[in-house]
Amino acid sequence: MGRMNGLVLSLGALGFGILYLPIIIMVIFSFNAGKLVSVWSGASLKWYAGLLENDQLLSAFGTSLLIAVWAATIATIFGICIAVAFVRFGNFRSRLALSAIASAPLVMPEIVTGLSMLLLFISMESLFGWPSGRGVDTIIIAHATFGMCFAAVVIQARLRDFDMAIEEAAADLGATQPFIFLSITLPVIAPAVVAAWLLAFTLSFDDLVIASFVSGPGSSTLPIVIFSKVRLGVTPEINALATVMIVVVAVAVIGASWAIRRRLSSRDQNQ
Amino acid sequence: MVRGIGKYLVNLPAVTGRRLVIALPLIWLAVFFFLPLVETLQVSFTSPRRGIPPYEPLWGIGDDGFFTNFTTGNYALLLQYWSDYFGPAFNSIKLAFFSTLVCLLFAYPMAWWIARSNEKWRTILLVLVMLPFWTSSLLRIYALIGLLNPNGFINAAGLWLGLIDAPIQMMQTDFSIYMGMVLTYLPLMILPLYAVMVRLDADLLDAAADLGGSGIQIFRTIILPLTLPGIIAGSLLVFIPAVGEFVIPALLGGPDQLMMGKVLWTEFFRNRDWPVASAIAMLLLAILTVPIIYARYQDGRDAVAETPNPKQAEAG
């Protein structure tokens, strides 16, 4: 199998190369004094300095942050509800309906979700006068809607492994269901809840297509601004911005996986 | 604060609580996911007009009583301009299909490599796969543009090394779209493949090799059938979003690389023809119905067949 291993390794390495080469080149050239992503004309931090003075990008960043925090929080709360219903409630009457409607957004093309949400908001506005126009609130609703389905998947996986005996013991000792959930279940599934929140946050923070449909004047998110800038050509400030975001995500992901590994190995030692 | 909420919830009768837990997400999703699709279906049967909103109401009660504006004109338009709309539809399916194949070509050895590594390397490689997944796909595509542009990194490096005489046109071709698709969707293909490969019993392969099976024989008779569920799951995860993809053809494709998402976007934002945009959305959904239902069927089977593995759930 020696020859096959060589093929596997070279194709695999090429795959990692495709994933990382663009990012690495972009990070390097974000420190380039010149405008091009190909000709090195000396090291400089000027694009980072320019980033701090770019009010349009900064305010879009703030808008995106606000939307993502709210959307992720709503999505996580509803995601917990969906997961608990599926894992704990057995065969309730609306199970099939809930499972269909909670999994369809996972595979729905963004462009269809975005268009249909906008059409709904418009007809709701003409019927009830709410929401008046599109803005931050409509983007939060749209992002929370698909975010909760992803959150539910993550939380469900953790909830399935949960040792029911602990909950049953608590119930035998007279604790009520909501109390058991808040004091026992929630702390145990906390890592999955955090993961679900982060996933919903990332999905919201990165979304361009749905936000483009349901945003209004003055509620441009970061991806919307980036997209309009990229369409006009290469803007080196975006290199700097992307580098900052990638570093933040890398630190968070590496930190989180290190923490999980440590927790797992300490658990293995305890057993 | 949690305690205060807890006290309040404790006093709620258990049955009401249970109903609430089911009803809250069900109502939210019915209103903000299902109703919008119904509304889109309605709009796809109305005619456009000047005004806000730029389409006639499908039905209503006016001065002369109940009226309807039902028309199949938008769908007729899609049929009439066959080449304008079905070309992109076909192109979407074609590009999504080959993107899935290219993803599989790279993801399969990558997942195999990860699954066969020792525990330390496995964690490192998995983090390397997940990392791009958590970063903005828009920014990764932007980074790819910097690489593929006529005055981008690859052409500059090629010219400098003397490998090419003139910049190669890589942007706005099928090649740039495939690169964008692989960049965006590769992790989605790797993860399900990894999940089945890591459970594959190494003794099985050793036994086959001891009995004289050649590499290709072992792959065809053991590895391929056992990893087939991962191949199917990963392919669906890539194919379904790739068909409706907008950002990749918009930024990496040329005017000729039309895909459904891009056509819908143009009809909506440029031509402001919302009824036709809605009809395209319905057409896109119709195309995706078969793979989506198949994906749900697969999911249901996996949920039954899979015994939970605590370590995996922790990582996910």
**Closest of A158, A152, A182, A155 to residue A170, by C-alpha:** A182
Of residues B190 and A7, more confidently modeled: B190
Task: Read off the pLDDT of each residue in B44-69 and give the average, rounded to a whole number.
Answer: 82
Structure tokens of A106? 């996972």
With CB atoms and an 8 Å threshold, state whether A9 touches B186.
no
Round to whole Å and give the CA distance between A100 and B38.
Answer: 15
Q: State yes or no: pLDDT of B10 exceeds 70.
A: no
Q: Between chain A and chain B, how many beta carbons pairs sit less than 8 Å apart?
A: 287
Task: Determine the distance from the C-alpha atom of residue B225 to the mean position of all C-alpha atoms in its chain, rounded to a whole number.
Answer: 25
Q: State yes or no: pLDDT of B134 exceeds 60.
A: yes
Mean pLDDT rounded to a whole number for chain B: 85
pLDDT at B7: 60
With CB atoms and an 8 Å threshold, state whether A81 touches B156.
no
Cα within 13 Å of Cα(B210), Cβ side = 6
ipTM (interface predicted TM): 0.91
pLDDT at A41: 84
pLDDT band at B311 (very low <50, low <70, confident <90, very high): very low
- Nearby residues of A199 by Cβ (< 8 Å), 6 or more positions away: A147, A150, A151, A154
Q: Which of A95, A120, A228 to mutate to test the interface with B (most CBs of B within 10 A)?
A: A120
Conformational region of residue B49, where left means phi above 0, alpha means psi within -120 to 50, and beta covers everything else: beta
Place of tokens 């191949």: B231
Task: Read off the pLDDT of each residue in B258-263 and give the average, rounded to a whole number.
Answer: 89
**Which stretch of A210-214, B8-12, B128-132 has the lowest confidence by average pLDDT?**
B8-12
Round to whole Å and give the CA distance between A101 and A105.
Answer: 7
Minimal Cα–Cα distance from A18 to chain B, Å? 7
Task: Read off the pLDDT of each residue in B69-80 and give the average, rounded to a whole number.
Answer: 86
pLDDT at B1: 55
pLDDT at B15: 66
Structure tokens of A125? 């506005």
Q: How many angstroms separate the first and last alpha carbons of chain B?
A: 29
Query: Which of B33, B152, B157 lies closest to A145 in CB terms?
Result: B33
* Core vs surface per residue B155-192: b (16+ CB within 10 A) or e: bbeebeeeeeeebbebbbbbebbbbbbbbbbbbbbbbb
**For A4, nearest residue in chain B (alpha carbons):** B215
pLDDT at B59: 80
B164 touching A, CB under 8 A? no
pLDDT band at B250 (very low <50, low <70, confident <90, very high): very high
pLDDT at A162: 80
Q: State yes or no: pLDDT of B316 exceeds 60.
A: no
Of residues B99 and B294, more confidently modeled: B99
Q: What is the pLDDT along chain A (271 residues), one digit of tens a residue?
A: 445 578 888 999 999 999 999 999 999 989 988 887 777 888 888 899 988 899 999 999 999 999 999 999 999 999 999 999 999 888 888 888 999 899 889 888 999 999 999 999 999 998 888 888 899 999 999 999 999 999 999 999 889 888 788 888 888 888 888 888 888 889 889 989 999 999 999 999 999 999 999 998 889 999 999 999 888 876 888 889 999 998 998 898 888 888 877 877 776 666 5
pLDDT band at B3 (very low <50, low <70, confident <90, very high): low
Q: State yes or no: pLDDT of B190 exceeds 90.
A: yes
Contacts of B129 in chain A (CB under 8 A): 19
Beta-bridged to residue B68, according to DSSP, are B59
Query: Which of A29, A36, A212 lies closest to B151 in CB terms?
Result: A36
Radius of gyration of chain A (CA): 23
**Closest of B48, B112, B314 to residue A1, by C-alpha:** B112
Minimal Cα–Cα distance from A168 to chain B, Å? 15
- Nearby residues of B27 by Cβ (< 8 Å), 6 or more positions away: none
Give percent of chain B above pLDDT 70.
90
Query: Which of B34, B39, B261 lies closest to A123 in CB terms?
Result: B39
pLDDT at B306: 44
Task: Read off the pLDDT of each residue in B96-110 and give the average, rounded to a whole number.
Answer: 96
